[in-house]
A and B are shown apart, each in its own frame.
Chain A
Amino acid sequence: MKVLIRGAGVAGLTLAHELATRGAEVIVLEKREEIAGNASWQAGGMLAPWCERESAEEAVQTLGRGAADWWEEALPNQVSRNGTLVVAPARDVGELDRFGRRTSGFSQFGAGEIAALEPALAGRFGRGLFFAGEAHLDPRQALLALRDKLLGIGVRIDFGRCAASGFADIEVDCVGIADRRSELRGVRGEMLMLRTGDISLARPMRLLHPRVPIYVVPRSDNLFMVGATMIECDAAGPITARSTMELLGAAYALHPAFGEAELVETGVGVRPAFADNLPRVERDGRNIRINGFYRHGFLLAPAMARQAADIILGNRAAKEFALEPHR
């Protein structure tokens, strides 16, 4: 079985891995000259199916549960399984109750437990929710490691190309927002990278706020990724002053040390989403499309790659994978 995949974002590379390890011959075409720069590159990399349930449908939780295992198996040592800690500023602690009512899989933590978990935050938050089963990875390291592994197991990746014909039995589009179909819309996300050696965190933090909820994900080299806005708009231009202020203000509320951090990068990605914000695997003859990951690329790409690989390799019928919204 020969498969051609368009797009070397998280959707394309996870599918390439799934197919190659099951014995298919795979070529990936990427129109960019390198991995960097797509929406996946700007991702938070949180594998947080329980937290995401706060605003996502049940399918996101169900499909996302196996993500950390998939990534760990594919890329040993890339996944940190330290859970997620959710906190709120003192005057917004009511947001914790709201968040808790809509989610499961957490423990209520008091000030002492928060300090034990994240010493840098000692004395700053009286209450929090700890989601012990969640994990995170660095999306950039993960994408590069996945590329290297794929090259090592014989997958061809051609950069700077998007057209090819005649090679494959099946062609799969994993091109994200570059797919201009009208059912897909863009949801702009903006992020910052801060660098400071003054504090360290072991796990993603979510700071709840009625207007500006943010997350801070620790990465190596004293880097912290702060994200992310959600704007119904497909413009990919630079981050706005307002979004920068909001993200920085929230990071500062999490810990004043971020006020002295270096702002080393700002980033903008456009998330591809269908109207229900759930991803789809669609088949039309020998053409398959995987798209609509919205804000759940790293979380849901493994499940969708498995589904698509099953279809491609003939294990199951495509119609079994129609995603029904659960409510």
Chain B
Amino acid sequence: MLELYGQNLSSRLLLGTALYPSPAIMAEAIKASGTEIVTVSLRRETSGGKAGGQFWSLVQSLGVRVLPNTAGCHSVSEAITTARMAREVFGTDWIKLEVIGNHDTLQPDVFGLVEAARILASEGFDVFPYTTDDLVVAERLLDAGCRVLMPWCAPIGSARGPQNTGALRSLRGYFPGIPLIVDAGIGRPSHAAAVMELGYDAVLLNTAVAKAGDPVTIAAAFGKAVEAGHEAYRAGLIEPRDMAVPSTPVIGMAAFS
């Protein structure tokens, strides 16, 4: 059972709500994936008007927990303002904190991220920081009050899959008790299974599902891959060897020549 800020969850897949062909397909994909947490963006989906109106109502009707994010924020103050608005609009202390440092790569500004995390944690937010795979930044985020870490495995939307498994392993090794969620860069179910096999607690996806040929089918596929990777990690994987080892015992067999 996965526990995030005191909430127990049986699904280890989190889904974003942007970029789907239609809200109806998004809703079907969310159901098919089995996810219990969806991220929503305050900036684009709900700015002005009636707080997202029907789109927000549809998300609410799915009966999943909502994790608002500060997507598109480029400064600490912008991220904090967005987080406070999100708390009002969505009625939750959960916030996925993004402070973007580079417009092209959407790489997090880790200095601003730590600063914003500290302020938000002190205001009682449960912060889910979108960070790089840097170990020292991870330590600073935990010092700042985060109880969950969300490192990328590749740039947002790039679909490249895990780029630096060494760094991801290192994070897992250093923070055995902290929920680690791979946030960005997953392109296919095998990527999701691979990071789960490293012992990660969950995976967050959006583009890989929303922009796939059939979002509903691939959402189900991702749900299975995440589960398979997690089960594999729990079971204990064998280590690769340089030489072949027969799987059928040969000692004691009759030898013919």
- A residues contacting B by CB (< 8 A) are 55-57, 98, 101-102, 182-186, 188, 210-211, 231-235, 237, 273-278, 325, 327
Contact = CB atoms under 8 A, between A and B. Distances in A.
B26 to A, nearest CB: 9
Interface string B38-55: 000000111111101111
A234 B24 contact: no
A277 B49 CA distance: 20
Contacts of B157: 210-211
Nearest to B46: A233
B185 to A, nearest CB: 13
Given A184-B54, A186-B53, A232 B24 contact: no
6 contacts: A56-B21, A102-B213, A211-B157, A232-B44, A235-B47, A327-B214
Interface of B: 21-25, 27, 44-50, 52-55, 57-58, 157, 211, 213-214, 216
Nearest to B23: A275
B48 A235 contact: yes
Nearest to B56: A232
Contact of A182 (B46, B49, B57): B57
Contacts of A184: 54
Given A237-B48, A275-B27, A327-B214, A232 B21 contact: no
B41 to A, nearest CB: 9
B44 A231 contact: yes
Nearest to A243: B44
A101 B214 CA distance: 12
From A56, A211, A232, name the one whose CB has the most chain B CB atoms within 10 angstroms. Answer: A232
A232 B52 CA distance: 6
A182 B213 contact: no
B21 A186 contact: no
A242 to B, nearest CB: 8
B213 A186 contact: no
A308 B44 CA distance: 35
A233 B53 contact: yes
Contact of B213 (A57, A101, A211): A101
A275 B24 contact: yes
A182 B55 CA distance: 10
A211 to B, nearest CB: 8
B49 A233 contact: yes
Contact of B23 (A185, A186, A211): A185
Enumerate the 4 nearest inter-chain pairs by beta-carbon distance, A residue then B residue, closest first: A185-B54, A235-B48, A235-B49, A277-B22
Nearest to A55: B21
A234 B49 contact: yes
Contacts of A102: 213
A185 B22 contact: no
Nearest to B217: A327
A62 to B, nearest CB: 16
B24 A185 contact: no
Given A232-B55, A233-B46, A234-B53, 4 more contacts: A186-B49, A276-B22, A276-B23, A277-B22
Nearest to A101: B213
A185 B214 contact: no
A185 B21 contact: no
B24 A277 contact: yes
Contacts of B23: 185, 232, 275-277
A57 B157 CA distance: 23
A189 to B, nearest CB: 13
A22 B136 CA distance: 74
B73 to A, nearest CB: 12
Nearest to B40: A232
A234 B50 CA distance: 7
Given A57-B21, A275-B23, A276-B22, A185 B44 contact: no
A233 B54 contact: no
A83 to B, nearest CB: 24
A233 B47 contact: yes
A325 B21 CA distance: 12
Contact of A275 (B22, B47, B48): B22
B52 A233 contact: yes
A278 B21 CA distance: 11
